[in-house]
Amino acid sequence: MFLTTKKVLIISSLLTVNIFASNITFQTVAKNPQRVVPNTQQQIFSFHDLIKDSVKSVVNVSAKRRVKSVATIPSQMLNDPFLKKFFGDQLGEQFKESRLLRSLGSGVVISSNGYIITNNHVVDNADEVMVTITGDDKEYPAKIIGKDADSDLAVIQIEAKGLVPIKFAHAEDLRIGDVIFAIGNPFGLGESISQGIISALNKNKVGINRYENFIQTDASINPGNSGGALVDSRGALIGINSVIISRSGGNDGIGFAIPINMVKNVAKKLIQDGKVTRGYLGVVIDDLSTELKNVYVRKEGALVLDVEEDTPAAKYGLKRGDLIYKINDNAIKDRVDLQNTVAEFKPNQKIVLEIERNKKDMTLVIVLADRSSLTATSNETVLGGLKLTQINDKIIDQFRLPRNFTGVMIKDVEPKSNAEQVGFQAGDVIIQIEDIEIKKLSDVQNAIKKYKKSTKRVYVNRFGQTILFVVK
């Protein structure tokens, strides 16, 4: 009796499923599609003629820089009390040796008078940059015109004849699924081309650059391809190959290129001014979470978490909790969208912000400031060759600093610079310049302006000890 009941239940359930399944209509394509067979005797399917000129526009870039490293010596020697008595805490400095580092990458010729765009990380801190052109054995010394670490782009220039500038595509013409080609110098092997498609557009939050709006592709991009060209099937430049995401170090089919609109914007500024100046608003922003979307009328925009003091945002009335959803009639979808949009404007330029505050729409007219005048960005050097960064939670965790620790950390010291000769080291924390206490990057700029023409005393914290340097 029990078994019979169970069978009835199972059969009933199956009948119910079949009844509902009969109501499903599947969308299908036409049957028997036509198949086109290439004329294998007379035709070869090839993009050669379309991209051959673009290949001539891609060059090999070789950068050299000399760095100091600690020679391999027993750690007991560094801790020996007898040696420390004579050499002090600078014992390790006595055993530093000089090494020559080489990096290989690619570049793209963008003008007949020798301007070449590449990645900042290819030429950053280089003592010497050399360029070789496809089909030419000669090496050309390159001059660095300008670098921008925030976008990871740089412009260099060579004196050479017969250069072939690449043709630029239009960013608005790009579509996911388009056939593309990556041209570059992988592993220093010379000219190489790989094929793929556009896997995604407007990729951000990758955590690579400050300003991210990447083209993602599955075309093989390997070490040495950095700075090379990503072109469409016509051979027109759509991006500059930048990085890959890989667990093995090789190509896993996830590569990123800086899009052409950002490339053109940054390249123009670097050629005209030697640096990139960006508009500065002065807000801490975030995206709308699922929970917060229930709080706001609008479902897209950049949420203001905080407003920094003495910034345009504070001056013109932005408040914590405001949702910025439009700038100059351009929609703002998220925080990255806001960051990239503001960066495209110049300092002192007037913009119109449309915001939601307490479920009501408002309009604010704001004059942007110069970001470089308020902060020492990672691509500019100060005090004779120092690259600085603001101490944040990530740095505090990395270096196990106290939670209330404030100051500005030296990120890097340019080789052969005055700062290196004075004795600054990467990892030093600047705590005071003359009578100005240093808590943020803008304090450094203020101190430099105040004591521009005089010798400056710079106090740094190194492993808990305060050291004083004098900078002219």
Flag whether pLDDT at 100 surpasses 70.
Answer: no
Residues 268 and 309 in one domain: no
Q: Which residues have CB under 8 Å from 421's CB, separation 6+?
A: none
Same domain, residue pair 57 and 148? yes
Same-domain status, 405 and 367: no
Residues 433, 389 share a domain: yes
pLDDT band at residue 41 using 50, 70 and 90 as cut-offs: confident
Query: Rounded CA gap, 68 and 436, in Å?
Result: 32
pLDDT at 427 over 70: yes
Torsion, Cα 373 257 411 99, to 10 degrees, reads -130
* Spatial separation of the C-alpha atoms in residues 303 and 230, rounded to whole Å: 34
User: Do residue 235 and residue 269 come from a single domain?
Assistant: yes
Place of tokens 């570049």: 107
Number of H helices, E strands in the chain: 12, 27
Same-domain check for residues 267 and 287: no
Task: Note whether residue 394 is domain-resident.
Answer: yes
- Domain that residue 239 falls in: 171-273
Percent of the chain's residues with pLDDT above 90: 28
Q: Tokens in use for 355?
A: 């915001």
What single letter denotes the amino acid at residue 22?
A: S
Domain end among 106, 127, 157: 157
> Is 344 a member of any domain?
yes
**Which tens digits make up the pLDDT trace of 234-293?**
999 999 998 776 655 556 678 889 999 899 989 999 999 888 888 888 888 888 888 888
| String of DSSP letters for 374-414 | HS--TT--BTTTEEEEE--HHHHHHTT--TT--SEEEEEE-
What CATH number corresponds to the domain at position 223?
Answer: 2.40.10.10
Whether 391 and 368 map to the same domain: the answer is no
Q: Does residue 351 belong to any structural domain of this protein?
A: yes
- In a shared domain, residues 57 and 153: yes
pLDDT at residue 86 in the model:
44
Distance, in Å, from the CA atom of 405 to the CA atom of 416, rounded to the nearest integer, reads 30
Does one domain contain both 62 and 129?
yes
What is the predicted pLDDT for the residue at 188? 66
Look at the pTM and tell me if it is higher than 0.95: no
DSSP code of residue 169: -
Domain count along the chain: 4
Report residue 221 CA to chain centroid gap.
17
Q: Which two tokens stand for residue 292?
A: 């917060």
Q: Are 379 and 314 within 8 A, CB to CB?
A: no
Question: Same structural domain for residues 146 and 232?
Answer: no
Please report the pLDDT score of residue 426 as a whole number.
85
Structure token digits, residue 100:
């020559």
Q: Which residues are catalytic?
A: 121, 152, 226
Output the six-digit token pair for 385.
């060759």
Is 249 inside any structural domain? yes
**Residue 294, amino acid:** N
Residue 225 neighbours by CB under 8 Å, 6+ apart: 105, 106, 182, 184, 185, 186, 192, 241, 255
Domain CATH number, residue 428: 2.30.42.10
The pair phi, psi for residue 448, each rounded to 5°, is -65, -40
8 pLDDT above the threshold of 70? no
Percentage of the chain beyond pLDDT 70 is 80
pLDDT at 363: 93
Q: Are 270 and 153 in contact (CB under 8 A)?
A: yes
Report yes or no on 225 lying in a domain: yes
Which residues pair with residue 56 across a beta bridge?
none
Beta bridge partner(s), residue 360 = 357
Q: Which residues contact 117 (CB under 8 A, 6 or more apart)?
A: 107, 108, 110, 153, 154, 155, 227, 240, 263, 267
Q: What's the confidence (pLDDT) of residue 115?
A: 95
Give φ, ψ of 445 to 5 degrees: -60, -40
Same domain? 389 vs 364? no
Which residue among 252, 273, 294 closes a domain? 273
* One domain, residues 246 and 193: yes
| Domain assignment present for 141 | yes
First to last CA, the chain: 100
Across residues 192-206, what is the average pLDDT?
Answer: 84
Which residues of 75-127 form beta strands (DSSP E)? 96-109, 115-118
Mean pLDDT computed over every residue of the chain: 81
**pLDDT of amino acid 158:** 93
Instruction: For CA atoms 133, 137, 142, 147, give the dihedral sign.
Output: positive
> Rounded to a whole number, what is the largest CA-CA distance in the chain?
103
Residue 198 has phi, psi (to 5 degrees) of -75, 115
Q: Answer whether residue 326 is part of any domain.
A: yes
The one-letter amino acid code at 58 reads V
Q: Which of 348, 372, 396 is the last residue of a domain?
A: 372
Q: Which long-range CB contacts under 8 A does 395-402 form with residues at least 24 apart?
A: 399/427
Task: To the nearest 10°, report the CA torsion of 309, 313, 314, 317.
Answer: -170
Query: 1 Cβ partners below 8 Å, 6+ apart?
Result: none
389, β-bridge pairs: 409
Examine residue 103 and state whether it is found in any structural domain, yes or no: yes
Place of tokens 């009969």: 22
